[in-house]
Amino acid sequence: MSDKPKFPRAAALDVAREICAALKPVTRRLIVAGSLRRRKEEVGDVEILFVPEHWDVGEKTIFTQHDTKTEDTIEKLEMRGILDRRKTVKGSETFGPKNKLMVHRASSIPVDLFTASEANWWNYLVCRTGGALSNVAVATRAREQGYKWNPYGEGYTRLKDGSIIPMRSEQEVFEFIGLRYLQPWERK
């Protein structure tokens, strides 16, 4: 059992709405994941997954230089006193191009911002929605089927030859390895 504080769902949803409203104009995809998506009554944080505006070049995704628009938006949320950077237990910050661990100043609710790409969206969404037991089940079943699940990658890697099988939906992440798709609120 975690000793981290829990926050009421309603308060966390208010924080999620505020942050998503700011990010929506500068993102292609945006969703609240984690325990809020799983409809928990108390949550430890607000997890937001998004795909920023970017350029597509062929099959590769290239983010604009330092993803300027979303970076600027997040910095404005900091400057306006809405979000602060959150310190880890060791006193450092996680504020990189992909993961930003923040805290909503008014409520003290942790806010985790995760940058995805179109290519890894579905795996990342399953991973960031969780729960832990669901993610373990996906990874375990993948290995049993001869694959490695890449929760931050495009799909599954076939162990025998290293080929990558990209996923095109959240449901496919489960069904490709023979697991029944569960709605987020059914996952543990």
pLDDT in tens, 31-58: 999 999 999 999 999 999 999 986 444 4
Neighbour count for residue 111 (Cβ, 10 Å): 25
Does 139 map to a domain?
yes
pLDDT tops 60 at residue 64: no
> If pLDDT is split at 50, 70 and 90, which confidence band does 67 have?
low
Are 89 and 177 found together in one domain? Answer: no
Per-residue pLDDT of 96-146, as tens digits, reads: 888 999 999 999 999 999 999 999 999 999 999 999 999 999 999 999 999
Are 83 and 135 found together in one domain? Answer: no
> If pLDDT is split at 50, 70 and 90, which confidence band does 72 have?
confident
Are 93 and 147 found together in one domain? Answer: no
Q: State the pTM of this model.
A: 0.89
Mean pLDDT calculated for residue range 168-179: 97
Mean pLDDT calculated for residue range 155-183: 96
> If pLDDT is split at 50, 70 and 90, which confidence band does 69 have?
confident
Q: Which residues contact 22 (CB under 8 A, 6 or more apart)?
A: 73, 76, 77, 82
**pLDDT for the residue 63:** 47
**pLDDT for the residue 49:** 98
pLDDT tops 80 at residue 59: no
Helix (H, G, I), strand (E, B) or coil at 54: strand
Burial state string for 50-88 with b = 16 or more CB within 10 A and e = fewer than 16: bbbebeeeeeeeebeeebeebbebbeebeeeebbeebee
Are 138 and 70 found together in one domain? Answer: no
Structural domain of residue 84, as residue ranges? 7-115
Are 107 and 144 found together in one domain? Answer: no
Are 104 and 143 found together in one domain? Answer: no
First and final C-alpha spacing in the chain: 14
Mean pLDDT calculated for residue range 16-31: 96
Query: What's the structural domain count of the chain?
Result: 2
Closest by CA to 123, choosing from 51, 24, 17, is: 51
CATH of the domain at 155: 3.30.210.10
Q: Whole-number mean pLDDT of the chain? A: 91
